Amino acid sequence: MPGLLRISYKLLVNDRGKFAALIVGITFAVFLMIMMTSMFSGILRRSASTVTNVGATIWVMDPGVNNVLSTIPLPDYILDAVRSIQGVKYAVPLYSGGALAKLPDGTYEPVSVIGLDDSSLFGRPELEQGRIEDIYAENGFIVVHDAEFHKLGNPIIGSEFEINDHRGVVVGIAKVSASGLFGLPTLYTTYNRAIRYIPNSRFTTSYVLIEPKSASAIEHIQAEVKRLGYDALTKEQFIQRISRFYMYQTGLGTNVLLMAVISFIVGLSISGQTFYTFILENLERFGALKAIGATGSQLIQMILFQATFAAFTGYGLGIGLSTLVTRTAQMRLPSYAAMTTYGNLGLAFVMVLIIAGISSYIGIRKVLRIEPFDIFRG
């Protein structure tokens, strides 16, 4: 078989034009699939950026909450009720809301405001500049240095702005692991300052954050909160709920799925047609091999080798091209949300295997029908 595989390889690459067209088709299909699914993964990650950055183990929320932005304020008694549950190490309130910030040049910029528990500052970000204690200073706010930082005029410590006619002062600049999705700069302050500066409904607690005494206590805490009529989700469960919302209840998931299917069809049509043309042009050679003793199984292995070699080459080139484009875009466009995951690579790999399988099937059917007599008679 090694000798037949060498012959198979030479037959494949002998016509450089056809071989290049085959590789380009698969590469382009993989590139599109990786890009579409990577953008979707990046969007889902950013949609749960607040959950990721705060890092609480358990989030208590109204059952109607389906993403981190659509907060439904919790009654004040929920915080005390949660703190009394057995297995709760501590529980703190969190404010999450939106506001309009008036910049020094007179322009207005929508911002996302996170209000941390005054006593513990649980969920505070890591600071690049400043001290976390300064958040207690009069009008103190911490600005997140992410892709939207420039929208606030690239503030420095001491910069001032206004929120609802209240003076705000930048006392720190923070970094977070995940940027927001909707292009809003993020400000951190204390819980009481947030509810004082921003108009709210009768209740002001967006979420109650719980740290359990042990992992074994999580199930009990969730059951007790459920008895109160509210949901207690772990960090992973909340991220999954947000992902399901954007995947199934918005057009985002459908559009990305449609683009992935289109890219698969494009790659399949190009590679299948090119591989079929390649088989037709080499029928005489396959017939000659069959005449000198090559069995049907050996011819099948040759075709499978050709299809697999082309598919894996296109797969590698497609991943390399998508990685290059994604990295370049992230360097030049900080708000670009694409993120390549093992799931994206695995999905593209499965699609490539399907393309290789269908292309091989087309070629195998044609080759097995060859009769050496017909070849030599022609």
List pLDDT tens digits, range 87-102. 999 999 999 988 999 9
pLDDT in the model for residue 344? 82
pTM above 0.85, yes or no: no
The residue ranges of the chain whose pLDDT is under 70 are 1, 181, 267, 334, 370-378
CB–CB of 267/29 below 8 Å? yes
Tokens coding 378: 């022609």
Looking at residue 377, its pLDDT comes to 57
What pLDDT is stored for residue 374 in this prediction?
Answer: 58
Pairing mode, if any, of strands 108-116 and 186-190?
parallel
**How confident is the model at residue 110, as a pLDDT?**
92
3-state helix, strand, coil in the chain (%, to 5): 55, 20, 25
pLDDT for the residue 376: 58
Q: Check if the beta carbon of residue 221 is closer than 8 Å to that of residue 232.
A: yes
**Domain boundaries in the chain?**
2-46+251-377, 75-229
CA contacts within 13 A on the Cβ side of 9:
8
How many residues in total does the chain contain?
Answer: 378
Residue-wise pLDDT tens digits, 39-72: 878 877 877 888 888 889 999 999 999 888 788 8
What is the Cα–Cα distance from 348 to 37, expressed in whole angstroms? 9
